[in-house]
Amino acid sequence: MLKKSELVVKSNDLIRASYTLGLVEQRLILMAIVTARETGLGITADTLLEIRAMDYAQLFNVTKQAAYMALSSAIETLFNRRATVQVYDERRKTLRSLTVRWVTAMDYEESMGLITLRFGHEVVPEITRLEANFTSYELEQVAGLKSAYAIRLYELLIQWRAAGKTPFFKIDELRSQLGLSDGEYPRMEAFKRCVLVLTVAQINEHTDITVSYEQHKAGRVITGFTFSLKQKKQPKDVTPKSKKAKPNPIEDLNTLLKDKKFLEKHAKAGESWDDVRSRLKNEAETGKFTLAPT
């Protein structure tokens, strides 16, 4: 069973890659990334990963029926989704852009509500290593986001969590990294209203950061944006603390009365071990003898 506290880990290169995924497809990819890391054994381009409708329903707070429908519809589209990534060409000794598939094999067993998939060769290293140029976050941080754009923007922003501010995003670069096609919201007013404003509002409401943005202009033309982000304060733990059980003097004394050194310390002249035990018990019950606090 997948948990919302599981870590999603992606390379920053993959986060900045240009790709378009719908909301359900984004969620399935994130679930597969968590599943890959959960194995603890590492994965290869031959490893088959399973995603269950029941886990989807629980993680994203939807009905079982909605989860089954989501997996059923995604199987038709996710297999054909691609990403454009920077890959090092050993022969040319340089980076080059390549278009790669997210997954190379996929199957859906409707009766079980189960998707089985295999990540592409170029994708596997980008989700399994944990190094300085990787970004990680808990799955629960994006579980409440209802827009694929919001998930993409959250991932882009938290790369600069420590700095609290992003570098300048050119408008075309930002659109590409959010997964917008050329024909989607081409007018700036529509882009801001339908993408930026809504995604920032969702991030502020449902995740662990608060975000604002600033637009930059060349003359009267908006050329790009920068974003500021702050970590939200963690709510105080108001769970009642369990009180420590008070020590029972009689139980403590009974334990000590089995200790020969303790008996020697408190014995009076002529007393047998049984005499010492009997006297100390009697004095403890009447208050004449107490155990000194440790």
> Which of 94, 113, 143 is a domain's end point?
143
Which pLDDT band, with edges at 50, 70 and 90, does 239 fall under? low
List the strands of the sheet with 49-52, edge to edge. Answer: 49-52, 114-119, 103-109
Rounded CA-CA distance 26/148 in Å is 7
Average pLDDT over residues 142-170: 91
Domain-located, residue 292: no
For the stretch 120-152, pLDDT in tens is: 888 887 776 644 455 667 888 888 999 999 999
Higher pLDDT residue, 272 or 223? Answer: 223
Rounded CA-CA distance 267/277 in Å is 9
- At a CB cut-off of 8 Å and minimum separation 6, what does 81 contact? 19, 20, 21, 25, 101, 102, 103
Q: Which two tokens stand for residue 293?
A: 């606090």
Higher pLDDT residue, 223 or 258? Answer: 223
For the stretch 42-73, pLDDT in tens is: 678 898 989 999 999 998 999 999 999 999 98
pLDDT of residue 227: 97
For 162, which DSSP code? T
CB 166 within 8 A of CB 54: no
What is the domain count for the chain? 3
CATH number for the domain including 197? Answer: 1.10.10.10
3-class SS of residue 224:
strand
Pair (189, 121) in one structural domain:
no
- At a CB cut-off of 8 Å and minimum separation 6, what does 275 contact? 267
Rounded CA-CA distance 2/58 in Å is 9
Nearest to 154 by CA among 168, 142, 172: 142
For the stretch 185-237, pLDDT in tens is: 999 999 999 999 999 999 999 999 999 999 999 999 999 999 999 999 875 55
pLDDT of residue 11: 67
Domain span holding position 258? 249-286
Q: What angle do CA 32, 136, 11 make, to 5 degrees?
A: 75
Model pTM above 0.75: no
